[in-house]
Amino acid sequence: MKEINELVRKDFLLELRQKYAINGILLYVVSTIFVVQLCLGRVIDENTWIALFWIILLFAAFNAVSKSFVQESAARRLYYYMLAPAVSVVLSKMIYNSMLMLILGLLSLLVFIVFMGFPEFNLALFLPSFTLGCIGISGALTMVSAIASRSGNNAALMAILGFPVVVPLLLLLVNASRLSLKAMVPVTDIVKSISGLFLIDVVVVVLAVILFPYLWRD
Amino acid sequence: MIKGLWWKLTGLGLILYSIVAGQMIEVPELPVIHQTIRNLFYHVCMWFAMFTMFGTSLVYSIKYLTGNKPGNDIMASESVYNGIFFGILGLITGMIWAKFTWGDFWTNDPQLNGAAVSMMAYLAYAVLRSSIDEKAMRARVSAVYNIFAFMLLVIFLGVLPRLADSSLHPGKGGNTSTMQGLDLTMRLVFYPAVIGWIIVAFWILQIRARKRRLVQNVNQINK
């Protein structure tokens, strides 16, 4: 537990010291949304809103998470290896990336609302699925970036390995967002969408905890 | 792997039987599908063979991670390549079938999209393997990714189509299951066909793995 805390704190400190990374991603999100607004105009229908929002957030997530294992040099990896068990390393990365992703997601939601307006979502469904979606996407991409960091050409692999992994989450998220547009959503449907997302999150975390130690040692 | 000729001949015999009997038997007259229902004996068998191959590779990947034996890595990767082969055949037979029943080679169906994305996941496995040079690392990393890919396969072909609102495939999206609508004579062809194709898939896997081992041995001698 203590190691996880320290490792998360270290990642946050690093992020705050080299601000260009997080600022770059934020600028990317803002400029993409602005371009969308320029191209499509302010008034778009709800389905387009949902699709664009999740696609932009997905690419922001790729940018934000892909560096999480690449920035660790071989020497530093060895250092962590001696300090903490592999499970704490991967859990700390996942926690850190989820927090980063939630902050990023909320900020892009804000920018989206400012530029494109806000469809009348049922917040009881939209907010939990948004939170679970951010956690799931960042967790899955953390694992993918750990796999990709072990190979030669990282950036290309990150995209092709990550894409199939996040598609089921993306589909569930888009479905949940569409569902939350309806005026009256039955409680069973809400529970069904949220539990689907929750299940995928749990599977991702469990697989990461079991499999990461095999990736970690040399 | 099993030795001997008997099981290979059984597989071939079952496939021959399913091809001959598949064209001969009387099939129920259904709207839209008509005689194309006979494609069931080829199209669905490809997916069964693919699923078996990917399942085999999952087993060998887990075995590799627990034991670090290079032989298990060869089996795992060759079964993935073999599974991709059957998956492509399944896509092609399905596309031809779709053209004659639904009017298009590709429709926006959850089952089709799921099949496409899971094929991409396994193609990514092939790319991942070729991008790592060191043998032990390649085997370990690809084994880890393979477990992820199988989970995706189960989600895409087993879970998501059933949750979807609508699907053109039977048994998915609220449609009735295939097995309920399949009459007895068709079952007598369909089940042997599935078993036959799975046996032949294992035969191909055996040959591929043997070839890989031979190539590896030759390379070692040349060194």
3-state secondary structure A175-186: HHHHHCCCCCCC
Residue B11 lies in a domain: yes
Q: Which residues in chain B touch residue A218, judged by CB atoms under 8 angstroms apart? A: 137
Say if residue A218's pLDDT is above 80.
no
Q: Find where tokens 């070692």 sit.
A: B220
Residue B220 lies in a domain: no
Q: CB–CB of B199/B11 below 8 Å?
A: yes
Q: CB–CB of B144/B201 below 8 Å?
A: no
Question: Is the CB of A165 less than 8 angstroms away from the CB of B152?
Answer: yes
Q: What is the ipTM of this complex?
A: 0.85
- Give me the torsion for CA of A212, B142, B77, B136, rounded to 10°: -90
Minimal Cβ distance to A215: which of B118, B128, B144: B144
Indicate the DSSP class of residue A42.
Answer: S
Q: Does A147 touch chain B (CB under 8 A)?
A: yes
Structural domain range at position B13: 6-215
The whole-model pTM stands at 0.87
Question: Is the CB of B147 less than 8 angstroms away from the CB of A207?
Answer: yes
Question: Is the CB of A207 less than 8 angstroms away from the CB of B148?
Answer: yes
Question: Is the CB of A215 less than 8 angstroms away from the CB of B121?
Answer: no
Residue B105 lies in a domain: yes
Q: In the prediction, which pLDDT does A16 show?
A: 83
Which residues of chain B are under the pLDDT cut of 50?
none
Report how far residue B130's alpha carbon sits from residue B121's, in angstroms, rounded to the nearest whole number: 15
Residue B223 lies in a domain: no
Residue B1 lies in a domain: no
Digit-coded pLDDT (tens) for A77-107: 788 888 888 888 899 999 999 999 999 999 9
Q: In the prediction, which pLDDT does A112 show?
A: 86
Q: In the prediction, which pLDDT does A205 show?
A: 92
Q: Residue B30: left (phi > 0), alpha (psi -120 to 50), or beta?
A: beta
Q: In the prediction, which pLDDT does B140 show?
A: 92
SS (H, E, C) B157-184: HHHHHHHCCCCCCCCCCCCCCHHHHCCH
Report how far residue B33's alpha carbon sits from residue B98's, in angstroms, rounded to the nearest whole number: 10
Residue B30 lies in a domain: yes
State both tokens at A85. 């068990």
Residue B173 lies in a domain: yes
Q: In the prediction, which pLDDT does B175 show?
A: 54
Digit-coded pLDDT (tens) for A14-28: 888 887 778 888 898
Q: Find where tokens 């529970």 sit.
A: A191
CA distance B31 to chain A (A): 32
pLDDT band at A148 (very low <50, low <70, confident <90, very high): confident
Question: Is the CB of B128 less than 8 angstroms away from the CB of A157?
Answer: yes
CA distance B16 to chain A (A): 37
Q: In the prediction, which pLDDT does B168 show?
A: 67
CA quadruple B6, B7, B8, B11: dihedral sign: positive
DSSP readout, chain B? ---SSHHHHHHHHHHHHHHHHHHHS-----TTTGGGGGGHHHHHHHHHHHHHHHHHHHHHHHHHHHH--HHHHHHHHHHHHHHHHHHHHHHHHHHHHHHHHTSSS----HHHHHHHHHHHHHHHHHHHHHT--SHHHHHHHHHHHHHHHHHHHHIIIIIHHHHSS--SSTTSTTPPPHHHH--HHHHHHHHHHHHHHHHHHHHHHHHHHHHHHHHHHHHHHH-
CA distance B175 to chain A (A): 19
H/E stretch holding A95: helix A86-116
Q: CB–CB of B50/B83 below 8 Å?
A: yes
Residue B161 lies in a domain: yes
Q: What percent of chain A has pLDDT over 70?
A: 98
Minimal Cβ distance to B155: which of A168, A211, A215: A168
Provide the domain count of chain B: 1
Q: How many residues are present in chain A?
A: 218
CB atoms within 10 A of CB B40: 21
Q: Residue B173: left (phi > 0), alpha (psi -120 to 50), or beta?
A: left
Residue of B nearest to A200 (CA): B155
Residue A1, SS3?
Answer: coil
Average the pLDDT over A148-170 and give the result. 84
